[in-house]
Each structure stands twice: as C-alpha cells, then as structure tokens.
Amino acid sequence: MAETKALMRALAGETQAVPPIWMMRQAGRYLPEYRATREKAGDFLSLCYNPELAAEVTLQPIRRYGFDAAILFADILLVPDALGADLWFVTGEGPRLSTITSEADFGKLKGAEDIHDHLAPVYETVRILSRELPKEVALIGFAGAPWTVATYMIAGRGTPDQGPAHALKAEDRALFEALIGRLTEATITYLSAQIEAGAETVKLFDSWAGSLKGQDFEDFCVAPAKTIIAALKAKHPGVPVIAFPREAGEKYIGFAKATGADCVALDNSVSPEWAAEHVQADGCVQGNLASSHMVTGGEDLVRETRRIVEAFSGGPHIFNLGHGITPDADPANVQLMIDTVRGG
C-alpha cells in the first residue's frame, strides 16, 4: 500500500497539491512526552537499544501532530558502536567514542557483516513500528553517511570543523580510506536490515558534507553515497533513498543523478527558489525551513513556510526543516507550521 502514502508518492516523483511533511528529530527533547520516556529508559543509549521505548518515542510525534512519516528513533553512532568502538554520551555535551587514529585502532574493528547481533534491538524497533504506525504514515529508516560517522570516530567526539578527520585524511590516506570503506560496507548492511524489518525508505545523513572541498567531496561524500545506494537498489528494488549532504551548497546540483538518490534533502543555507531551479529539476527535494522558526514562531514562521511551499510547488517536494528541531523549540510552533503547510 506504499503508493497510497503521500511521502512515498513524493519519492516516486509525484507533484502533490499539499506536500507531505515530517521533521528531522521530530522525536526529541522539545516534547515533554519524549523527556518522560527517556527518563524511564535511564539514558540515551539505553533508549536507543530498547525496542519498546524506542518505538514509543518514534510514535509520539505521530500521535501529537499527524506527520506523514515517522523516522526510526536511533542514532548515527550506533554503527561504530556495533563495529566495536566504545561509545558513551556525556550529559549536556554529547557523544564520546574511542578514537580510530592508527592501523592498530582500525584492526580492532569488527567486519561489516558482524554488526547484526549488536543492532538487533534496532531492527526489532522497526518491526514494531511497521505494525503499529497508522496505515497512511510511511516509515523511514536511516544511517549516518561514512564521512560524517568517520569524523566522530577519528576525533572521538563532535568537532566544529572536523579537523581531526581532515588531518588523518592528509597524513594517512590509506587508513582513512580503509575506515570509509568499512563504514560504507557496514552502512549497506545496516540499512538493508532495516528495510528487511519494514522500513519503506531510508535516509543517509551526511551532516558534515559541507566541510569536504574539491575532489574530497566527490571521493568521500558522492562516491560512498553512490556505492551505498546502488547496493541497496540491487538488493531492494523499488525502495527509495533520501540523501542529505548538508551544506553542500552548489554541489547539491546534480547530486541526485551522481548518487542515484530518489530525493535530496536541503539545508536552509540555500534558498528554496534557487533549489527549485537547480536541484528539484532532477526530482524530489526535501526541506528546508530554518529550525530557528520552531523557537521563534509567529508571522515569520508562517511567511517562510508559505514561501517554501510555493517555491517547490512545481515538482515533487517533502516539507521538512533544513536541519533537526532543537530542544528549545515550542511544540505549538510545530503545529503552526503543519497547519500552514496544509492550508489551515
């Protein structure tokens, strides 16, 4: 019944009078019901690996808002965790990992096919959601793209400029390429298992794609995405893939054709008018309201939402934010956004 779902129709290239809508990080700390469930879980990783609770927080924004899609509640760093890196979260600061900076470090990682036991709870979450979601709501699986995940594995944490990853890329190209290769294989394995468990489409988040310049963008953003998408298409024909090379700028142009992605998600550093001309010309686009509007609300939110809907009205479009909603967002502003998109 996928073709009856608004999101799947957009991914198939259909232009709709009202675009389907969902929101990155729609299950998150801005919602009181999420905060209550996370407290029940004990900590963030325990929530990710508890299928019943992870499914519950995935369903919460669907119940509250009636989004057209639910995205699996998980984290992009579960893949390095499954590969054998140490992963923990520091309250108020974010993730920490054991680092991969030498051949010896890399040698301790598991093979891409050895991640399933560790990630079995995530697949169970997908199975629960495929049963419990309303029939009109599409289920999105996801993973981090190899470059973005590698930046965390090399630095051991998030960094403002991905400097440690760029340094390793320059100093030990062979090691860096081996890590990208292992992550590419693991991402294919992981997303394929999500599809087998019931995900109807998957999204590849390359949150730090914008820091790759010149040929590095082609080698470490475009090429891994192309490999991952081709492998998934070979194994799961007809399952669409959304790609998000955040802050790619001019390199958004032609990204769908270069990688095989069915939809390109856009951050809010590009205008919807520019993106409609240069990116939507190749197919479905997703985006791209600034997440700050979920904090400030008001007429600016309404005006910018209408502008985006109008700009992308000539082709297939999924309405979304340009990045994830922030913990300080007002839930009422989310409802205002949805009402505006849907003509309320």
Residue 252 falls in the annotated catalytic set: no
Average pLDDT, the chain: 97
pLDDT at 344: 63
Residue 210, pLDDT above cutoff 80: yes
Average pLDDT for residues 327-335, to the nearest whole number?
A: 98
Per residue in 299-325, pLDDT tens? 999 999 999 999 999 999 999 999 999
Residue 180, pLDDT above cutoff 50: yes
Contacts of 248 (CB under 8 A, 6+ apart): 209, 210, 217, 221, 255
- The active-site residue out of 152, 206, 246, 252 is 152
Please say whether the beta carbons of 177 and 168 come within 8 A. no
Place of tokens 């990682």: 109
pLDDT at 91: 85
- The active-site residue out of 9, 25, 182, 246 is 25
Tell me the one-letter amino acid at 170: A
pLDDT at 2: 44
- The active-site residue out of 9, 38, 182, 246 is 38
pLDDT at 3: 74
Structure tokens at 182: 């292992």
Distances from the Cα of 308 to the Cαs of 8, 207, 270, 318, in angstroms? 20, 22, 11, 10
Per residue in 45-82, pLDDT tens? 999 999 999 999 999 999 999 999 999 999 999 999 99
Per-residue buried b or exposed e for 241-273, using 16+ beta carbons within 10 Å of the residue's own CB: bbbbbbbbeebbbebbebbbbbbbbbbbebebe
Residue ranges of domains in the chain, CATH in brackets: 2-341 (3.20.20.210)
Distances from the Cα of 49 to the Cαs of 59, 83, 103, 117, in angstroms? 16, 15, 30, 12
- The active-site residue out of 9, 65, 68, 75 is 75
Average pLDDT for residues 282-299, to the nearest whole number?
A: 98
β partners of residue 322:
none
Residue 303 falls in the annotated catalytic set: no
- For residues 210 and 228, what is the distance between their CA atoms, to the nearest angstrom? 19
Residue 104, pLDDT above cutoff 50: yes
Residue 9 falls in the annotated catalytic set: no
Residue 1, pLDDT above cutoff 90: no
Please say whether the beta carbons of 304 and 30 come within 8 A. no
Per residue in 262-278, pLDDT tens? 999 999 999 999 999 99
Residue 43, pLDDT above cutoff 80: yes
Residue 35 falls in the annotated catalytic set: no
Residue 174, pLDDT above cutoff 50: yes
Per residue in 115-157, pLDDT tens? 999 999 999 999 999 999 999 999 999 999 999 999 999 999 9
- For residues 231 and 236, what is the distance between their CA atoms, to the nearest angstrom? 8
Residue 38 falls in the annotated catalytic set: yes
Identify the CA nearest to 83 among candidates 102, 103, 108, 104: 108
